[in-house]
Homo-oligomer: A and B are copies of this chain.
Amino acid sequence: MKTVLIKEDILSRNNERARDVRALLQKKKIFYVNLMSSPGAGKTTLLTRLIPALGDPLRVGVIEADIDSDRDAVAVERATGARTIQMHTGGACHITCQMSLEALEALGTDGLDVIFLENIGNLVCPAEFDTGANMNLVLLSVPEGDDKPLKYPLMFEVASAVAVTKLDVAPIFDFDRARAEKNVRLRNPDARVFFLCAKTGEGVAELAEAIRAGIRDAKR
């Protein structure tokens, strides 16, 4: 009982903080994207392909969240030249909006058009915490299986868009695109579904166009 109350308290404070983040983004006309997925679904690799595909003269920021290690921040910065910071969560399984706000301040938002937050690899907990992002981009990698929306409902319910990644190995893993899309729709009739492969570049342009549309909306 105690635990539930504390959790509700945390979530209600988190939602208040999310309003602060949205106010900041609106003032600075920045589009903020929260990438969520299982470990190893390809968030970092997707960023290294997606950011160049956005095209000039966009100015991009990246916040890499990890429990430990700075491998992802190094990889993204090297591949894209985007302004990048590494955030360590000290064991935490998700990013709260307070952490999101502190990371935005540490990154520095001046002059940026779009910021990507790479959340902790976890298909459960990050879905519970609004980071203040304009778009929740959920990755589902082909090797995980097309049934994951059935088993991790909340993550797909909070998704603004779903990117099915590692599409090149779909034949090997007996992954059914239509079934995956149907399972996403069961949880979320409105989410756009992209099918792509960051390694070959297939489908990355369509996702980049959706991000550019978001950036244009944020400028209005």
Contacts and interface: CB of A to CB of B under 8 A. Distances in A.
Interface of A: 2-3, 6, 10, 38-40, 66-69, 71, 91, 93, 120-125, 141, 143-145, 147-148, 150-154, 166, 169, 172
Contact of A67 (B40, B71, B124, B147): B124
A68 B127 CA distance: 15
Contact of A120 (B124, B143, B166, B172): B124
A192 B110 CA distance: 49
A151 to B, nearest CB: 5
A146 to B, nearest CB: 10
A39 B124 CA distance: 10
Nearest to A40: B144
Given A71-B147, A141-B143, A169-B172, 15 more contacts: A2-B6, A3-B6, A38-B121, A39-B144, A39-B151, A40-B143, A67-B124, A69-B147, A91-B154, A93-B124, A93-B125, A120-B124, A143-B166, A169-B169, A172-B172
A40 B120 CA distance: 17
A148 B147 CA distance: 23
Contacts of A38: 38-40, 121, 123, 144
Nearest to A94: B124
A69 B150 contact: yes
Nearest to A143: B143
